[in-house]
Structure 1
Amino acid sequence: MKAKDALGRQGEQIATSYLADAGFLILERNWRCVHGEIDVICRDSLDTVFVEVKTRSSTAFGHPFETITEQKLTRIRRLAGAWCEAHADQRIGSIRIDVVSVLAPPGRLPLVEHLRGVFR
C-alpha cells in the first residue's frame, strides 16, 4: 500500500471515529458503485449524511478543504443519488453533504475539522 493510500485510510478511520463520537450513526464506509465511492455515509438525527474525508499530513500544498471543487461536489451529489436509489427501501429523510478534514502530521495528534451542510 502506498504511503498516500495509508494516510487516506488512517484519515477515514479518524473521521469515522470522530463522527461516531459526535453522535452520528455510521451506516457505511467506502460505498462503491460504477460512478465512484463515498467515504462515509451516516445518520445525523433525520438527515442522511454523505461525508467526503480529506486527509493531509501538512498544509504545505494547501488545506484539505481546498480540494473540494464544484466538480467534486457534483460527483458526490451524483453518488448520493445513486446510494439513495440503491437503498430506496430505507427511510432516507433529508440528505446533506459534509466534509471532514484530517490533518495528521507525523508524530503529532491529528486535527479534525468538520464542515456540515456543504450541500443540502
Structure 2
Amino acid sequence: MNAHISLGRRGEDAAVDYLVKLGWTILDRNWRCRDGELDIVAHDGRRHVICEVKTRSSDRFGDPAEAITTDKAARLRRLAWRWAAAHGVNGTQMRVDVLGLITDGGDFSVDHLREVC
C-alpha cells in the first residue's frame, strides 16, 4: 500500500478514536456520492457534523488545516447537503469541522477546528 494512503487511513482511524472519546457517534466513514467523498459523518449529541480529516507526517509544510481552501470548503458544504438529503436530515442542523492530525510515526496530535465552513 502506498505510504501516503496508509498515513491517511491511520489518520482517519485516529480521528474516529478521538471523536469516540469525546462521546460522539460515528454515522458514516468515507461516504461517497458522484460529487465526492466525506471522510467522517458524526453526531456530537446535538448536531450532525461533517469531519474533514487532514493528516501529515510533520508540520514542515504548514498546518494540515491550511489545505482547506475556499473551493474545498464550498465542496464540503455541497457534500454535506447531499449527505443530509440522502439520509433525511435537516441540513441546517449540520456543521463542518476539520481535524488536522500530525504524527511523528507513533501517536497523533489532533487539532480540532469547529464550524470551519
- Which residue identity is paired with 2:7? L
In the superposition, the TM-score normalised over structure 1's length comes to 0.92
In the superposition, the TM-score normalised over structure 2's length comes to 0.94
Q: Give the secondary-structure state (helix, strand or coil) at the position aligned to 1:101.
A: strand
What runs of 5+ residues in structure 1 fail to find an aligned partner?
none
- Which residue identity is paired with 1:38? L
Q: Give the secondary-structure state (helix, strand or coil) at the position aligned to 1:26.
A: strand
Conserved? CA contact 1:47–1:93, under 8 Å: no
- Percentage of matched positions with identical amino acids: 45
Count of matched residue positions in the alignment of Structure 1 and Structure 2: 117
What is the match of residue 101 of structure 1? 100
Aligned structure 1 segments of 4 or more residues deviating by more than 4 angstroms:
90-93
- Which residue identity is paired with 2:115? G
Superposed CA offset, 1:10-46 (max 9, x none): 0000001100100111101000000010000000122
The structure that is helix-richer by fraction is: 2
What is the match of residue 76 of structure 1? 76
Structure 1 residue 110, shift from structure 2 partner: 1.4
Kindly report the root-mean-square deviation, in angstroms, between the aligned alpha carbons of the 2 structures. 1.4
Conserved? CA contact 1:46–1:93, under 8 Å: no
Q: Distance in 1 between matches of 2:78 and 2:92?
A: 17
